[in-house]
């Protein structure tokens, strides 16, 4: 481990005060010995930088999928006092409310075996790639009927809608970028993946979540597309000026921020919340398309494919947490981190309250994904947060130089995993080897008690952007 960092327990490490000048709280991160060798010095530096921000509470935190990002490390979590604290786009990211949802089906693996046309049909139905535009034909009749089941909103974090959203703070350019992209996957690490429930670790939780062994599920991972990216770009410029206006000293300009209570801070939060709502709508439209394809191909009812849950992993939200023995409302930034609320916490569907919030952690292409449940330990130690995925260990440029998309496809096909993407480059830079092992990352949060394993899902076929 790097000089100056101390090990607190088997899985927890501390970046002490003074690691960088101006730290207000220590940094804490969770990591196993097997993942230690993949830790980037730049990500640790960013974790320490976050600890210098005004109003930060307890610790600057990072999950085991920690890697270098914009401003905050990806895998970063920080909570801020509402009076003295700040809000920062670097703690949310450009893809506002990039998130993941899991759709259950009544199908078993044997029902889809040999159906190569399933991935083909989904690929042609769900637009993918850079600049992809929606195929949805929205009419008044369709709008009245909606694009889903009544219970879908219940099974979304925040009920799929942040109430403090302010569309007036979203620029016309951002809206113009977003209008044609609703219901599209986009590019990069976004995907739609058919999976099979390979292993159940917690029978009670799995039953509550509607999961059973050998079940076919569909995982959807995407965010706010061009609208969210433009919103972040627009407000970073405003907050860079606000940083100077409010005389906030920063070790990194990518941490541009403003007091939560300031005009600039409120404007960013309103725009970010509106972009987050767009992302939930985007994933809902993809869910609608997916259900229609599966219903038609397998003669199953649209309503037989319930949403297990939808989680955000790039967002800032106002939440109540215990701080110094008292319940306080704070602003929690999660940048590449997933909410992991424990049993009986607020904002959990009543039927799942005794179990805890479903936590969905996707693997990399060709590796296992996991469903876990939130814990009281996470509420106490990480503001109800856990990891969000495997975490990259190689840049896209490096990946394209090292891997051939064609070879990756062939290797996955030998394992019975079908892959469709707009081009081979989109497959090469998402090769499984460019990520940390998802099982190792998830094992850390399970053993640390930040979320507990419920089920393991293995890929059958994947659509990449």
Give the C-alpha separation, 340 to 334, whole Å. Answer: 11
Q: What is the pLDDT of residue 233?
A: 98
State both tokens at 20: 């960088």
Q: What is the pLDDT of residue 146?
A: 63
Give the C-alpha separation, 179 to 227, whole Å. Answer: 8
Q: What is the pLDDT of residue 140?
A: 45
Q: What is the pLDDT of residue 1?
A: 62
**pTM as predicted:** 0.95
CA dihedral 35, 37, 40, 43 (to 10 degrees): 40
Which residues are tagged catalytic? 388
Give the C-alpha separation, 31 to 42, whole Å. Answer: 16
Q: What is the pLDDT of residue 150?
A: 87
Measured in degrees and rounded to the nearest 5, phi and psi for residue 280 equal -65, -40
Helix ranges (DSSP H) in 299-390: 376-381
Per-residue pLDDT of the chain (465 residues; tens, 9 = 90+): 678 899 999 999 999 999 999 999 999 999 999 999 899 999 999 999 999 999 999 999 999 999 999 999 999 999 999 999 999 999 999 999 999 999 999 999 999 998 999 999 999 999 887 777 776 654 444 434 468 888 999 999 999 999 999 999 999 999 999 999 999 998 888 999 999 999 999 999 999 999 999 999 999 999 999 999 999 999 999 999 999 999 999 999 999 999 999 999 999 999 999 999 999 999 999 999 999 999 999 999 999 999 999 999 999 999 999 999 999 999 999 999 999 999 999 899 999 999 999 999 999 888 999 999 999 999 999 999 999 998 888 888 888 888 988 999 999 989 999 999 888 888 888 888 888 889 999 999 999 999 999 999 999 999 987
Per-domain residue ranges of the chain: 6-393+435-464
CB 309 within 8 A of CB 156: yes
CB 54 within 8 A of CB 258: no
Q: What is the pLDDT of residue 138?
A: 47
Q: How many residues does the chain have?
A: 465
Give the C-alpha separation, 344 to 350, whole Å. Answer: 8
| Record: fold of 6-393+435-464 | tRNA-splicing ligase RtcB (3.90.1860)
CB 216 within 8 A of CB 236: no
């Amino acid at each position: 481990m790097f000089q100056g960092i101390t090990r607190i327990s088997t899985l927890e490490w501390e970046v002490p005060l003074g690691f960088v000048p101006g730290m207000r709280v220590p940094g804490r991160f969770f990591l196993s010995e097997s993942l230690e060798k993949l830790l980037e010095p730049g990500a640790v530096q960013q974790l320490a930088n976050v600890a210098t921000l005004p109003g930060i509470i307890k610790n600057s935190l990072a999950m085991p999928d920690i890697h270098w990002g914009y401003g905050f490390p990806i895998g970063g979590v920080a909570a801020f006092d509402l009076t003295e604290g700040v809000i920062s786009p670097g703690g949310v990211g450009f893809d506002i409310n990039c998130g993941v949802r899991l759709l259950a089906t009544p199908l078993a693996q044997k029902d889809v075996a040999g159906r190569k046309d399933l991935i083909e049909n989904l690929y042609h139905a769900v637009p993918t790639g850079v600049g992809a535009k929606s195929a949805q034909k929205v009419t008044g009749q369709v709008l009245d009927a909606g694009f889903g089941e009544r219970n879908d909103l219940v099974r979304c974090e925040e009920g799929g809608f942040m109430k403090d959203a302010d569309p007036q703070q979203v620029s016309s350019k951002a809206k113009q970028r977003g209008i044609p992209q609703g219901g599209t996957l986009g590019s990069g690490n976004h995907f739609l993946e058919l999976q099979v429930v390979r292993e159940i670790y917690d029978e009670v939780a799995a039953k509550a979540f509607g999961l059973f062994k050998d079940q076919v599920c569909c995982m959807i991972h995407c965010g706010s597309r061009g609208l969210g990216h433009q919103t972040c770009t627009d407000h970073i410029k405003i907050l860079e000026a606000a940083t100077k206006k409010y005389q906030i000293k920063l070790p990194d300009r990518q941490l541009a921020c403003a007091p939560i209570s300031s005009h600039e801070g409120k404007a960013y939060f309103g725009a970010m919340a509106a972009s987050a709502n767009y992302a939930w709508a985007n994933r809902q439209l993809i869910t609608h398309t997916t259900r229609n394809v599966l219903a038609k191909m397998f003669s199953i009812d649209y309503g037989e494919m319930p949403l297990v849950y939808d989680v955000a992993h790039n967002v800032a939200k106002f939440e109540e947490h215990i701080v110094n023995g008292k319940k306080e409302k704070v602003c929690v930034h999660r940048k590449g981190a997933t909410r992991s609320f424990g049993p009986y916490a607020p904002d959990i569907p009543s039927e799942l309250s005794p179990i805890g919030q479903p936590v969905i952690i996707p693997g990399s292409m060709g590796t296992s994904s996991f469903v876990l449940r939130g814990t009281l330990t996470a509420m106490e130690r990480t503001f109800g947060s856990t990891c969000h995925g495997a975490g990259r260990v190689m840049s896209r440029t490096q990946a394209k130089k090292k891997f051939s998309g064609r070879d990756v496809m062939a290797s996955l096909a030998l394992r019975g995993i079908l892959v469709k993407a707009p081009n081979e480059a989109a497959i090469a830079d998402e090769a499984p080897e460019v990520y940390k092992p998802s099982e190792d990352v998830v094992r850390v949060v399970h053993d640390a008690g930040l979320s507990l394993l419920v089920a393991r899902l293995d890929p059958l076929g994947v659509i990449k952007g």
